[in-house]
Structure 1
Amino acid sequence: MPRFLLPLLCLLALSPLTAPAQEATTRFGDGATSFLMRSTTDIGIIRPVMDRFAALNPELTITYEQWGSNDLFDLSRDDCQSGARPADAVLSSAVQHMVWLVNAACGAPYRSAVTAALPDNRRWRDELWGVTTEPAVIAYNRRLLAGADVPRNRFAFLDAMRARPEFFRKRIATYDIAESGLGYLFAYADSLEATTFGALLEGFARVESVATCCSAEIIQGVSEGRYLIAYNVLGSYVANANLPDVGMILPEDYTLILSRGYMIPKGAAQAGVAGRLVDFLLSDEAQAMLQRAGLVTQMDPAETGLAVSARRYVPLSPTLLVARDANRRRLLLRFWSDTFMQAELP
C-alpha cells in the first residue's frame, strides 16, 4: 500500500438523513405469484432480460424496483436487521454492500451447476454471485479530443492535466463517491493501486474537476462537450447511451472489471424463484442478451486491446469488507471532498 494512504486508515461516513426511496418501478408478467426484485440496474437496460424470464415463467408477476446503490443497501440492511419481509432478490453494482450483507448473515444459500461453475472471484459462500462483466472506462468527447490527445492510460491522463490545466479546467467529471456506492467502490479500488491514486487526486484538484452523482448526467455532459473526459464510468452505461460523440478507453495500465452482485435475501418469500432467476441470468441465452445490453463485455485481448495482466477484477470476497471499514471510508471521503471542494462532511 502506498505511504500516502497510511493516514487514510485513521478517519465513518454517516448514513443519509432521508429515508431510502426507489427511483422507478415496473412490472413484468401478470401471473398469480408475486416476485419482488430490487436492483441498481436501469430498467431500460435490463428490460429484455426480465421480459424473457417473465415469458418463461408465466405464473409470475415480477415487480422490479430500481434503486440508488446507497439507498438499496440501507433498505436491505434494515430489512435484515429488523426481520421485515425482504425483497425476493437483490442485484447491485455496489458489490462491497453485497459482501457486507452476506457477511452479516442477510443472504440465503443456493447452489446449482450453473452457480458452481462461476470462477471464485464471481461467487462467495453460495450466497452471492456476479452476473455481469463490466469494465470501468475513461469516456471522452470524440469531437474535442482525438488521436494523441486521448489518454490511453492514467499516466497519459496525468500528463494531459499537467500540460494543459486551463484546457481541462472544470471539464473532467467522475462520480461523487459520497452519493454513489459504485463510485466509492472504484475509488477504493484505485486507492489500492500504488502508483497513480494520489497523483490523480492532485490532478483532479488542480483542474477543478467535477464530482457528480449519476452516470447518465456524466455521459450526457461528455456528449455535449461540457466535460471532455469522464473517469471511471461503467462501460455498460457508455455503450447504452449510444451517443456517437462519446468514445471510451479501457485504460492500458489497468482496467477495473465489475460483476454486479446478486443475492437472495434471508427470509425471501420466493427464494426458489430467485434461484431460478440467477440460473437464468447466468445461462448462455441471458448472457448473450446481457452482452447486447452492454452488461457483459467479452474480455478477449484481440477485441479489447487490453492485456490479461491489466485486468483488475473486483472480487466478490471478504476483501471488500475493508472498503466499508468506518475509519478508512471516512478518510477516503474526506480526501475526495477536499479534492472536489465539496461541502465539509458532517
Structure 2
Amino acid sequence: MTSTTDGTPDGTADGTAGDVVLVLLDHLEGRLRPTSLELLTLARSLPGAQVHAVWSGPGPDGAALAVVGAHGATTLHRVEVEGADERTTAAAVDALVAVVGAAAPSLVLVASTFEDKEVAARLAVRTGGGVVTGAHGVERTGDGWLVRKSVLAGSWGTACAVTGRLAVVALSPHAVRASALEGAAPPAVVEHRVEASAAARAVTVVSRAPRPTGDRPPLAEAEVVVVGGRGVEGDFTAVEELADVLGAAVGATRVATDEGWIGHEAQVGQTGVTISPRLYVGAGVSGAVHHRGGMDASWTVVAVNSDPDAPIFEFADYGVVGDLTEVLPALAAELRRRRG
C-alpha cells in the first residue's frame, strides 16, 4: 500500500514526465551521511534530471528535509517497511522496489559501501536492472547511462554502458564534492507503507552494539587518510599524530594489521576497506598491488618511504624519501605552525 501527502498519482511525485534519478539516503539516528549529499549533488548535475530521494525508517525532521532540498532533491519518498527491521539491507531493498514502481526512475544511485553494494545487487535482481559498483562518474547517453570506474588496481579506466530500463549505480565516496544550493525549498514528501518481503522477514536483529568511535572520521568516508605500513615497525604514533593534525582517518596495510599493530578494521586494500579520499598519505607503505587496489581512486597521493625504489613512488603525486619517524613529526609541526 502506498499513500502520498499531496494526492498526486503514482509516477513522478509532481505528476510530470521526466528522467527521474532516485537517490538512497543513508542516515544514522536521523543524521544524513556525507555520501548521501554527494549522491544528491551528482544527481542534480545530470541534465534534465528530476531528483527524488528515498528515506527508509523514522524521520526525517525539518532540518534533514531542508538539507535534502538544499542538495537538489525535489521529492522525498519516506518508506515504512512493515514487519521487518528497516535497517537491514533486505528491508532497504523493499523500500527501493516500492519507490521504483511508483516513480519509475531510469537511474538509482547508492553509496559504494559494503551495505549499499549488497542493496544494489538485490535491487538489480528484483527489478531486472543493470548494476555497476565502485563508480566515479555517470553520464546520460542516447540509449541509457554510461558509468565510469577504475579496475585492475586502478591501471585501467572503464566505461560501462547500462542500456536497460534501469541502471543501479554505487558511487565511490568523494567521487564528487557535495555542495548546497542557496534558497532551495524542502522537498515534497511522499509517504509509502509496504509489506516486508520474505527475505526481509527472515532476518531477526536480536541486538545492536555501536562501533566504538573516536574523534577521527570513518575510514571509508574520510576526505583525508594517513596510512601506516610495514615501515612503521609497530609504532603508529607518528601516523596518528599527523592524522589528528589533518583531521584525517588512520588506515593500515595488511602487513600492519596481520602483525597486530592496529585493528583489522583499519586495513586498506583489496581484502580490506576501499577508500577514495581527496588526500592519501602513505607512511612506510610499499605500494603493493593489493593495497593499491583499495586506494587508487585517491585524488592526491603523498608517499613517505626510506626506500627510493618502493613501488608507491611510481604512482604517488608527491614523494619523500626519508625516515617517517622524522618526516611525519616535522610535517605535523609545520602544519601546526602555519595554522597559528
Normalised TM-score (structure 2): 0.32
Q: Compare the two structures and name the one with the higher strand fraction.
A: 2
In our comparison, the structure showing a higher alpha carbon Rg is 2
Higher normalized helix content (fraction of residues): 1
